Structure 1
């Protein structure tokens, strides 16, 4: 006997499968083709539990580009949205149980409040749409933490202001604060080879300053996945997303160990450092590093609680040495 052309067993299986799919919760991921959003999507798809629990909607500016089309082939729904338009965001967020939000800095545009506007717009729509879990990629308020000593790091400050806004309007939320990207050292040529064959790392701060490093493309998604798995524990919390604290001395020692290259650290004066980076971005990068030196990227907070949370959810952060070994061909 068949039912609609299927045997009873197959029909039953398809019915159960359809019911489970209908029960799946929707997570909307902003910046789907970027480093952070892409990491979140990969972590969900690769996780046995989360891949069954959630359907994924990816938000990107251009759904036709190859990276977006690759996501489509993996079963990710793609939606284009304008973060300046709440109407556009309503269409992007509607029906979502969870939302991952990352805002993009207006690098080098003095006085821009784009991140603040975009973050508040998404928060408002998340509130109106009854989103149950907003996971926001946040950072500390440098101006506030230094009592105005450093006031030119808008890509930190505006994220912190968005976080405060989200808290103030009462959206159920978790705040994940990514550390200093390991990829900065490989993508931006921060280790420069001299005529003598020695690779120099130049900073406007001392070599004992503490950098909380994260392999952002691999590990941001792990921290987000942990917050999804442990939602009740992480609501309202700040999760510090980094493998561990590294000094420049250790960064270079492990770089030498993996690559066999000779390295040296050079501390340069602030004005010289700024001269390497044109416009307002030079001031921003300088103060960003001065903040890392004092009071510290996370204001001196321990990473233990966040690491314990990651392990509890079944994940492990990528070490700097592992990152170097995995990316040896690009160094």
Structure 2
């Protein structure tokens, strides 16, 4: 562990430090053999995850990253050398708000004089699909922030998360279709290859790599992934690891969207999720020019098989 209070060490301000990606960034920095000071942003410094960070010698700052609180946001970034920025669209489901808050953080980082901004963005599905799919608000909102960051004049890299491996335990969890069979039902071909990442464990490896390169990767877009794997291979490996029969079913996009809505998802969000999967099946996940490489990472990210083997699936395959 190389967390220090030495002012000669770079200070990295980590947004969402108690969330999946931010926590992974903190993990990677603490694993590095290079010294860092870390300022961890959270909305509630009294929660156990925030207290655990403070116990490791990490500076914990409670701040609401909203336009109404812009003065405190700018103050929170003061003194930082680098920053990791992420937004939580799922919290409010409001893409314009996400764009506004992303731009606010970039403005605050720029005012602080940081040497580099690492941003957790996503591609524009509208652009990726040639205008066919225009309703994926939470991808478009992040893409607009990426454009703003690249034009900010501050060295800026967009490090995009692949599909979370944990999604197979949550909204993509297999559905029981018979006494001994479960199915993953999605609106894309079974051969569609997805970038899968154990985000909590491995996302931060890519951020740490960007910070430690001899030259900061300004204006680049990076993919984060443990493996590129098809859905049919995911279900096959899940079956092999658990001893349960899990299959993949390609279903019509409209049927998938209705299923998402029936689970209580607001219609505009259900449509966005439907279009994400449909677009990925047709056009892939990452935009042209995205750097898809694991070279230079401090350790190897988990493959899908390794992730599956590390989990208890008894609460999923009931």
TM-score (norm. length: structure 1): 0.87
CA distance in structure 2 between the partners assigned to 1:170 and 1:45 by the alignment: 29
Determine the structure 2 residue equivalent to 1:93.
Answer: 77
CA contact (8 A) 1:126 1:134 kept: yes
| 1:295 pairs with 2:278 | no
CA contact (8 A) 1:176 1:224 kept: yes
2:188 aligned residue (205, 208, 216): 205
- Cα deviations across residues 178-206 of structure 1 (Å, max 9, x unaligned)? 11110000133521223322110100111
Determine the structure 1 residue equivalent to 2:32.
Answer: 47
CA contact (8 A) 1:30 1:37 kept: yes
CA contact (8 A) 1:142 1:150 kept: yes
5+ residue gaps in structure 2?
A: 262-266
| 1:286 pairs with 2:268 | no
CA distance in structure 2 between the partners assigned to 1:163 and 1:257 by the alignment: 40
- 2:151 is paired with a residue of what secondary structure? helix
1:29 aligned residue (4, 14, 17): 14
Determine the structure 1 residue equivalent to 2:293.
Answer: 306
Quick check: which has more Rg, 1 or 2?
Answer: 1
- 2:43 is paired with a residue of what secondary structure? coil
- TM-fit CA distance, 1:276: 1.5
Determine the structure 2 residue equivalent to 1:4.
Answer: none
Determine the structure 1 residue equivalent to 2:179.
Answer: 196
- TM-fit CA distance, 1:265: 1.4
- TM-fit CA distance, 1:175: 1.3
CA contact (8 A) 2:42 2:63 kept: yes
TM-score (norm. length: structure 2): 0.90
- TM-fit CA distance, 1:98: 0.5
- Cα deviations across residues 62-120 of structure 1 (Å, max 9, x unaligned)? 111111111111111111122223211112100000100011115674x6411101110
Determine the structure 2 residue equivalent to 1:57.
Answer: 39
Determine the structure 2 residue equivalent to 1:6.
Answer: none
Determine the structure 1 residue equivalent to 2:264.
Answer: none
- TM-fit CA distance, 1:315: 2.3
- TM-fit CA distance, 1:300: 6.6
Determine the structure 2 residue equivalent to 1:80.
Answer: 62
CA distance in structure 2 between the partners assigned to 1:189 and 1:286 by the alignment: 12
- TM-fit CA distance, 1:272: 1.5
CA distance in structure 1 between the partners assigned to 2:180 and 2:224 by the alignment: 34
CA distance in structure 1 between the partners assigned to 2:92 and 2:177 by the alignment: 28
Determine the structure 1 residue equivalent to 2:142.
Answer: 159
Determine the structure 1 residue equivalent to 2:299.
Answer: 315
- TM-fit CA distance, 1:174: 1.6
1:1-331, aligned counterparts within 5 Å?
Answer: 21-49=6-34, 52=35, 54-84=36-66, 85-106=69-90, 109=93, 112-188=95-171, 190-230=173-213, 232-278=215-261, 279-299=267-287, 305-308=292-295, 312-328=296-312, 331=316
- Cα deviations across residues 282-319 of structure 1 (Å, max 9, x unaligned)? 1011001012112110147686x5222xxx24321210
CA distance in structure 1 between the partners assigned to 2:243 and 2:290 by the alignment: 32
RMSD of Structure 2 on Structure 1 (CA)? 1.9
- TM-fit CA distance, 1:41: 0.5
CA distance in structure 1 between the partners assigned to 2:288 and 2:259 by the alignment: 28
- How many aligned positions are there? 305
CA contact (8 A) 1:30 1:59 kept: yes
5+ residue gaps in structure 1?
A: 1-18
- 2:215 is paired with a residue of what secondary structure? helix
